[in-house]
């Protein structure tokens, strides 16, 4: 039976589950190939890169990486950045995947069956609010160095929420207007590549053409497919990303209203304030500490 360990126990990755909660101003890791994991940043920002794609994770996002995915990680900031990374043991991943994803008759024949469908949820940022409770609980357990049944229960709760994403990915693919499953999967992958570009460049003037180029699709095709997959337009996605980032800056006391407005890509303060109030039900100035 695998254990749950805290701290940088990289020698035990895969054999045991490892919860790493740390603060640093600078850190980098190159060509890491690890077990199934979820990356979250409690305060500040850190970046993970998979191939040519970069994913900047903050308090509003989380990044799920499948087993054996190769990635780089980089953190560089003036103030300490607090990260929370959960690595799952191969044993607990296989057990959960078999229970949740395998058909019952196949499970009875081979209870160790491990589907590889978690690859479908990688290479994208997910809203961290979907995982906030188990992540907060695991962070508290890590800080108290608590092991035992409680820690395993929280770990399995988090993994269960991550497996829920597979059903969502299946639904996203089914909404794409293509007859062949392979075509839908490829279009889905391209849409997510465009989404990753938008996530990294949200503070720049919006460019459908640039996002479509990153997705290797014509602009109209990208716009239509993006809306089908994510149920909102690329511009609406960027607007949401901007407003969430502005709210985070204001809550952390890291910027004035005007500074937050400009930092996330708005050129008009009245327009920013109006959209902020519409999204969160309050003027941005009310969030200043």
Dihedral of alpha carbons 127, 129, 134, 137, sign:
positive
CA–CA separation, 36 and 26 (whole Å): 24
pTM of the model: 0.90
**Residues 51, 214 contacting (CB under 8 angstroms):** no
Residue 96's pLDDT is 87
In degrees, rounded to 5, the angle at the alpha carbon of residue 251 between the alpha carbons of residues 206 and 83 is 85
Residue 99's pLDDT is 76
Residue 103's pLDDT is 55
Residue 177's pLDDT is 85
CA–CA separation, 239 and 79 (whole Å): 27
CB burial of residue 180 (10 Å; 0-12, 13-18, 19+):
exposed
**Residues 35, 13 contacting (CB under 8 angstroms):** yes
Residue 117's pLDDT is 65
Residue 121's pLDDT is 83
Structure tokens given for 198: 């938008």
Q: What is the pLDDT along the chain (289 residues), one digit of tens a residue?
A: 679 999 999 999 999 999 999 999 999 999 999 999 999 999 999 999 999 899 999 999 999 999 999 999 999 999 999 999 999 999 999 888 877 766 545 544 544 444 456 777 888 999 999 999 999 999 999 999 887 888 999 999 999 999 999 889 989 999 998 779 889 999 999 999 999 999 999 999 999 999 999 999 999 999 999 999 999 999 999 999 999 999 999 998 889 999 999 999 999 999 999 999 999 999 999 987 6
Residue 101's pLDDT is 65
């Amino acid at each position: 039976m695998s254990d749950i360990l805290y701290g940088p126990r990289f020698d035990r990755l895969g054999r045991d589950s490892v919860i790493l909660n740390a603060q640093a101003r600078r850190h980098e890791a190159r060509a890491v190939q690890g077990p199934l994991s979820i990356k979250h940043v409690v305060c500040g920002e850190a970046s993970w890169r998979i191939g040519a794609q970069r994913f900047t994770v903050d308090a509003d996002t989380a990044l799920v990486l499948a087993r054996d995915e190769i990635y780089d990680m980089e953190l560089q900031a003036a103030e300490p950045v607090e990260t929370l990374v959960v690595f799952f043991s191969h044993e607990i991943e296989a057990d959960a995947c078999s229970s949740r994803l395998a058909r019952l008759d196949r499970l009875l024949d081979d209870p160790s069956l491990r589907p590889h469908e978690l690859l479908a949820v990688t290479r994208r940022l997910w809203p961290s609010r979907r995982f906030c409770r188990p992540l907060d609980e695991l962070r508290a357990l890590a800080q108290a160095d608590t092991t035992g049944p409680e820690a395993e229960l929280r770990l399995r709760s988090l993994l269960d929420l991550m497996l829920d994403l597979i059903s969502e990915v299946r639904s996203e693919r089914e909404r794409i207007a293509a007859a062949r499953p392979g075509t839908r999967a490829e279009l889905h992958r391209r849409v997510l590549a465009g989404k990753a570009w938008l996530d990294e460049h949200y503070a720049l003037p919006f460019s459908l053409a640039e996002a479509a180029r990153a997705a290797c699709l014509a602009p109209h095709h990208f716009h239509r497919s993006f809306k089908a997959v994510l149920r909102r337009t690329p511009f609406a996605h960027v607007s949401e990303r901007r407003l969430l980032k502005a709210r985070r800056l204001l809550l952390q006391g890291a910027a004035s209203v005007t500074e937050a407005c400009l930092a996330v890509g708005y050129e008009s303060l009245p327009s920013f304030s109006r959209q902020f109030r519409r999204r969160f039900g309050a003027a941005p100035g009310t969030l200043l500490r």
